[in-house]
Amino acid sequence: MRCSVFRASIGLFCFFAIGVAGQSPAPSPGVIAGIVVDSANSPVRRAIVTLSTVEAQPQDAVAWTDANGRFSFGYLPAGRYQLRAVKDGYQGAAYGAETSRRAPATIQLAAGQVRSDFVLRFQLVGSISGVVLDEDGDPLSGVEVRVLRPDFQRGKRTLLPGPMTVTDSNGHYLVSGLAGGKYVVSAMRRNSAAIRIHPEATAGEPQQQYLYGLQYYPAADHAEAATLIPVQLGQQISQIDFRLPARPASSIEGKIIVPPGVAVSDVSVNIANQDLGNQNFIGQRVSAPDFIFNRFSLAPGSYVLIAQASVDGKQYRGVQAVELGPQGVKGIAVPLEPSIDLSGSVSVEGPEAAKYTASFVNLTSGDGIPWNAPPLRANVNKDGSFKISGVPAGIWDIGVSIPPTGYVKSMHLGDQDVLTEEMMIRPSTTEALKIVLSTHAAKLEGDVVQGDQPAQAVVLLAPDGKARHVFSFYRFATTDEKGHFEISRARP
């Protein structure tokens, strides 16, 4: 077996094994060892096993399993540890966790204790495969096939992007590395014209251009109509096939409306595909005096237009959603709106509050609209004040540095509670953002038993009521070998 260390992990192997002259001998070091096997209980060679301390500043040590699947970590001080293992072609394993999405259990190691009974069991990962054809049954190469997982964001059902691959010259694809669950599969060939057979042509007649649009399995144009494909651990799902129709290319035409008295020379106009999570970005610059934009060769679908300009350091932005059909869209008007300077303050309450000062406040997009400009961030002054310049209209999420043992107590934009509600910024917004931090978070501890025996489990502390969609309120912990758990830094 070979071992190496990283991320401040030298202490696990060296520091604790060295005594200091003139002091009492250090306690006997401990050992954590075990074996990695597959679902058939066969040893797995050259799996990567990571041992982590459960501390405020965790330390990691790494070992590779030998030909018999064995691993060992020596010279360990007493403390709390977690074990994980990974290898290509398998779902990651963690001690005390049923799946890779669960946190590992905590191992309590006493001074000088030797534990060599740990078993980490790999499961083969699942896969989805198939073929992508055109409407005539010919294979399509270069098609992006993506696997998506249903989830909830901001209290709304959505699809989170997962692994992606591209079809080969025969139209075949394979997406592997899937954990057990239900998935949606989509196929799209970007920026490539579709070839369609025309047995007759008229001289002088303009040729219609065709494209392959986005399709969800089995033959749906929108994600809501897609079929959920269940995948079990290690299961290989095949024959998830697509037949992409060639559709007439569409176009978007319109103009940018510049506010009166604002001297703008040019504006960047970007088109993002909402069906792809506002990806597939297409850019164009338009100039005075008309600020006319047009974009041809687009597949039908849902898009968002984003216009941005900077005048004397001040940011302007306009956003317009567009549903593009086969006939195209003309006459769109996208007004530019000025950004604002968002001022506010951060105060700290609780024990030893005077010792802590927040360092920064930042904003990230809460509506999924891409922001192609410098990050919206400001340092907090000694008196707690801050100002974030150039905040455009839209929904924004707030980030702030939090005390090590604290939590965010409240956030208000004027009278609005923007900790549990979305913060909408408008060109007319003048209210200050007031953030209150606390140094004294709640702590919850207890035990999980099954019958009269300690149980290994994940304990989730979830908010109720209007805060159910605020993921920063959620806390979880795993039980140790005695079934005990502790949840810290919870919002009261």
pLDDT tens sequence across 332-378: 999 999 999 999 999 999 998 988 889 999 999 988 888 878 899 99
Same domain, 219 and 153: yes
Same domain, 400 and 315: no
**68 CB contacts (<8 Å, ≥6 apart)?**
35, 43, 45
In the numeric block, the tokens 């047995």 are attached to 199
Q: Are 320 and 272 in contact (CB under 8 A)?
A: no
- Domain assignment of residue 36, yes or no: yes
pTM, whole model, 2 decimals?
A: 0.71
Domain residue limits at 94: 2-124
**98 CB contacts (<8 Å, ≥6 apart)?**
none
Q: Which residues pair with 4 in a beta bridge?
A: 62
pLDDT tens sequence across 375-429: 999 999 999 999 999 999 999 999 999 888 899 999 999 999 999 899 999 999 9
CATH number for the domain harbouring residue 292: 2.60.40.2100
Sign of the C-alpha dihedral, residues 164, 169, 171, 176?
A: negative
- Domain assignment of residue 295, yes or no: yes
* Nearest-angstrom CA–CA distance, 387 and 400: 13
Q: What is the DSSP string of 165-190?
A: EE--TTSEEEEEEEPSEEEEEEEE--
CATH number for the domain harbouring residue 34: 2.60.40.10
> How many domains does the chain divide into?
5
CATH number for the domain harbouring residue 186: 2.60.40.1120
Q: What is the DSSP string of 237-293?
A: E----EEEPEEE-EEEEEEEEPPTT---SEEEEEEEEGGGTSEEEEEEEEETTT-EE
* Res 49 pLDDT > 50: yes
Domain boundary (288, 321, 338) is at: 338
Same domain, 86 and 76: yes
pLDDT tens sequence across 184-241: 999 988 767 776 655 555 566 566 788 888 899 999 988 888 999 999 877 889 999 9
- Domain assignment of residue 200, yes or no: no
Which helix (DSSP H) or strand (DSSP E) does residue 448 occupy? none
What pLDDT sits at residue 8? 35
Residue, of 213 and 443, whose pLDDT is higher: 443
What pLDDT sits at residue 223? 84
